[in-house]
Amino acid sequence: MSIQLPPILVRADHLTTYDERKAIVASALEAGYTNIILRSEDENLQHLGRYTAITACGKDLMYAGERIGILLNLTGAGEMEEAYSLKNSVPYLLISTENWKIIPLENLISRFQTSDTSLYVCVKTPEEAHLAFQTMEVGCDGIVITPDSPADISAFAGITDKKYPDVELEAAIITRISPLTLGDRVCIDTCSLLAPGEGMLIGSQSSCLFLVCSESFESEYVNARPFRVNAGAVHSYILCPDGKTKYLSEIVSGNELLSRTPDGTLRTVNVGRVKIEVRPMLYIEVKAGGKYYSVILQNAETIRMGTPVGAVSVSDLALGDLVYVRLENVGRHFGHPIAETICEK
C-alpha cells in the first residue's frame, strides 16, 4: 500500500459547490488536518497548502493512481452485507450513514478488528467521534470529519484516538539536593503555549519520572517563556505520548512529546527547537515507595518542579519538601516497558 492514513480525515467531496468545498479544505488546513478527501475535478484545491489529497471516484478512494479504499453509504442490510464482504479486500473502508447508529458500528467493529482492513466512520459531531473511538472498547480505526460548513471543523479541536500512558502522580519526599559542576542540559521549546504548572515527565531512572514544569512564570531576571520546558541533563529519560521513553539527547525538532497540565489532562505537543548547552547542574534525590530516585536539572531559578503546592522553583526547594513523581515497576529496553529485573542508581 502506498499510504498510511492517520486516524482523522476530513471530507470535502460531499458538498455541492466548488466554493463550499474550497472553504472546507482551507478550514481543515487551518485546524491542522492534512489528509483530505476531494472530488476528482477539484485538483486545483491541492494548491491551498501541503497536504495528502485522497480522491473520491464514486465509491473508490484513490491515491497516487492506486485504489486504497472504499467509501460506502449504509442505508440498510444490503449495504451492511457489502461492507462485510470488503473485509481484507481493501486497505481502508470508510462508512457513512444517514442516521448515525451504534448497533451497525458495533457489528462492523467486531467483524473488522482482526482484519487487514482499517475501518473508518464518517462523523458530523465531536460526540459521534467519541462514540466511534470508544464503541466496543476497541473503537474504529479512524474517523472522517464530514462538515456541513467550515465552522463545524473547529468543534473537533482536541478530538483524538490517542490512548495516553497512565500518568498518575504521587508525592515523593526530597532527601538530597546537591549542586553539581557543569553538564549538558536540554531545553525543549515546543510549538505550543504551555500553562503555568504544565510540564513533562523526566528522570534519571525510567521507573521514576518527575514533573518538570514549563517556564510560564515571570522572574526577576527573565521574561516568561511559556513554550519552554528546561528538561535537564542529556542522559535523562522523557515520557512520550505512546508510553515509550526517549533520552533527552535523542529529542529533535518535529518530535511529539507528552505534556501534563495541572488538572491531570494529557496532550501531545510538537517540538519546535531543542537547545543543548553547558550549564551548572543540580542533583535532586527523593524517596518514594521505599526506594531512592533522582533527577538532574539546570541549577537556575527559572526551573520549576510540580509539587502539591504548585510549580516550585528548584532554588526554593528544601529537604523534606514533596515533589510529584510517576512511578512504574517495569524496566525499559530501547524505550519499551519490559518485565525484567533492572537496577538503576
β partners of residue 269: 257
DSSP state, residue 321: -
pLDDT tops 80 at residue 251 = yes
Separation between Cα atoms, residue 337 and residue 271, nearest integer Å:
23
Mean local confidence (pLDDT), 172-181: 98
Three cell numbers, residue 148: 456541513
Give the pLDDT score at 340: 54
Least confident interval from 17-31, 38-52, 69-83, 244-258: 69-83
User: Side-chain half-sphere of 228: how many Cα atoms within 13 Å?
Assistant: 18
pLDDT for residue 171 is more than 90 = yes
**57-66, 194-203, 330-339: range with lowest mean pLDDT:** 330-339
**Which residue segments constitute the domains of the chain, with CATH numbers given?**
8-154 (3.20.20.390), 170-338 (2.170.16)
Mean pLDDT calculated for residue range 126-150: 85
For residues 244 and 79, what is the distance between their CA atoms, to the nearest angstrom?
41
Kindly state the DSSP code that residue 335 receives in the 8-state scheme: T
Q: What is the pLDDT of residue 74?
A: 86
Give 3-state DSSP helix, strand, coil % of the chain, rounded to 5.
15, 45, 40
Instruction: Report the candidate in 232, 227, 193 with the shortest Cα–Cα distance to residue 212.
Output: 232
Q: What is the DSSP string of 19-79?
A: HHHHHHHHHHHHTT--EEEEETT-GGGGGGSS-EEEEEETTEEEETTEEEEEEEEE-SHHH
Q: What are phi and psi of 84, to 5 degrees?
A: -60, -35
DSSP per position, 72-84: EEE-SHHHHHHHH
Q: What is the pLDDT of residue 111?
A: 86
Q: State percent of the chain over pLDDT 70.
A: 91
Radius of gyration over alpha carbons of the chain, in Å? 24
Beta bridge partners of 256: 270
Which region among 137-146, 254-263, 267-276 has the lowest average model confidence (pLDDT)?
137-146
**pLDDT of amino acid 149:** 94
Write out pLDDT tens, residues 18-49: 999 999 999 999 999 999 999 999 999 999 99
Q: What is the value of pTM for the model shown?
A: 0.65
- Residue 78 pLDDT level (bands cut at 50, 70, 90): confident
Q: Coil, strand or helix: which one is 181?
A: strand
What was the pLDDT predicted at 2? 67
pLDDT at position 333: 46
Average pLDDT of the chain is 90
Q: How many CA atoms lie within 13 A of 23 on its CB side?
A: 15
Q: What is the mean pLDDT of residues 127-138?
A: 78
CB neighbour burial string for 250-287, b if at least 16 within 10 angstroms, e if fewer: ebeeebebbbbeeeeebbebebeebeeeebebbbbbbe
Where does the pLDDT of residue 341 fall: very low under 50, low under 70, confident under 90, or very high at 90 and above?
low
pLDDT at 334 over 50: no
Q: What digits encode the pLDDT tens for the residues 210-246?
A: 999 999 998 777 899 999 999 999 999 999 998 999 9
Q: What is the pLDDT of residues 292-316, one digit of tens each?
A: 999 999 999 999 999 999 999 999 9
- Rounded CA-CA distance 207/296 in Å is 15
What pLDDT does 131 receive?
Answer: 83
In the block, cell 482536541 appears at 158
Torsion (CA) 97, 101, 104, 109 in degrees, nearest 10: 100
Q: In whole angstroms, how far apart are CA 315 and each of 208, 281, 306?
A: 21, 12, 13
The pLDDT score that the predictor gives to residue 190 is: 97
Query: Phi and psi at residue 77, in whole multiples of 5°?
Result: -65, -35
Residue 97 pLDDT grade (very low, low, confident, very high; cuts 50, 70, 90): confident
